[in-house]
Amino acid sequence: MLKVVLPFIAQPHQTLHSLPIGMEIAARSPDVEVQLACMTESHLEYARELAAFYPESRVSYELLRMPQRLRRRIEEKGPGPLEKISVLAMNRSYFSQFSGIVVPERTSLYLKRMGVRKPRLAWTRHGAGDRAVGFAKDTRLFDFIVLSGKKIEKRLLQQGAITPGRYHRGTYAKFDIVQRMNRAARPLFNNARPVVLYNPHFSSRLSSWEKFGDRILAFFAQQDRYNLVFAPHVRLFDRNREAGEMLRQRFSGCENLLIDPGSTRSVDMTYTMAADLYLGDVSSQVAEFMIRPRPCIFLNAHNARWENDSNYSFWQLGDVLDGLDGLADTLESAFLVHPQFRERQVAYFSETFELPDNQPTAPAAADAMVDYLRRCA
């Protein structure tokens, strides 16, 4: 019997990118044993909540072994690189028993350095953005990779990171589970104003938050034409959750502002589906936002020379601002000029994702992955 484990050692947002594939393996290949493994009780509970949307699948759950002190620290502050590597090392024997390890992150590649040789390591990726981090050199060390579409396949082939027979193209598992969740789209605000989603990245080298964040929140708090959802990348406040909560309380009296420093709603497309305009910098959530073409504004907070840089391809989908002086005018014109960007947005989405007839895409990835593991057994 093949045994497959899906360890979730990073922040919860990555769970949606691989869990659906594990659930489809369990449903479509009942002779394959599937386990979901997490570092904390809260993450394990979140995995159970998501798995409940796949009642046809039977999986088991495992809490990864570690000292309680370390588990509490991860629960309170989120998993940092050293914590993740330490937990991998502590669970080498556990991981060695499987035929396949399916992960949405790259840290788990350390298992190979730690002597975990038998399992094949499969990478589902998490996000479909253009930044170089999604095309890192160590990508070639994975045994099997799941890709969302032609654009990503082309870049990885060009750098020799993938070879035929060891990857599957055409799956973005997060879309599958969001469709299953099918939450009623209740209005986020009690008015009919356009909703702007401000979604800054967490990396200080790339994010607009440190330079522009306070001014952006103050701008929207002082006007009455737009609603604002501030839902940054979940890692922005992951190591300083007190700061995120203070920010939420600071603007709690503004009825046209919704501050979410890191709930599950900030990662399950609740806001990207509800917003009328995307305001951000380099987060790959803009690719998900393109599931329905809408206006975008991008903030160049670090004087990036982005025009001919493939890592910034998505900045071609809307206006790019180097500062905030023109924010009010750009917001006003964004809806008027959107037709100029619509065709480009549609093309970008079709190159990034392959969604045949709006059908689930995780089943095909599950079948391809099991077929690969059987060939390697």
Q: What is the pLDDT of residues 37-50, one digit of tens each?
A: 999 999 999 999 99
Show the domain range for 259. 195-352
Same domain, 242 and 319: yes
Same domain, 231 and 346: yes
Q: What is the pLDDT of residues 353-372, one digit of tens each?
A: 998 887 999 999 999 999 99
Q: What is the pLDDT of residues 169-204, one digit of tens each?
A: 999 999 999 999 976 567 899 999 999 999 999 999
Q: Write the Ramachandran bin of 321: left for phi over 0, alpha for psi from -120 to 50, otherwise beta.
A: beta
pLDDT at 355: 87
Same domain, 84 and 211: no
Same domain, 149 and 267: no
Same domain, 211 and 344: yes
Residue 108 CA, distance from chain mean position? 17
33 located within any domain: yes
Same domain, 326 and 340: yes
Mean pLDDT of the chain: 95
User: For residues 226 and 132, what is the distance between their CA atoms, to the nearest angstrom?
Assistant: 33
Same domain, 31 and 85: yes
Same domain, 259 and 360: no
Can you list the residues of the chain whose pLDDT is less than 70?
Answer: 132-133, 183-185
Indicate which CATH number applies to the domain containing 364. 3.40.50.2000
184 located within any domain: no
Residue 339 vs residues 105, 121, 295, 346: alpha-carbon distances, Å: 36, 43, 9, 11
182 located within any domain: no
pLDDT at 135: 77
Same domain, 91 and 222: no
Q: Quote the number of domains for the chain.
A: 2
Full-model pTM: 0.94
Same domain, 244 and 154: no
pLDDT at 189: 95
pLDDT at 307: 94
Structure tokens at 23: 């659930």
pLDDT at 357: 80
pLDDT at 377: 87
Structure tokens at 339: 């037709």
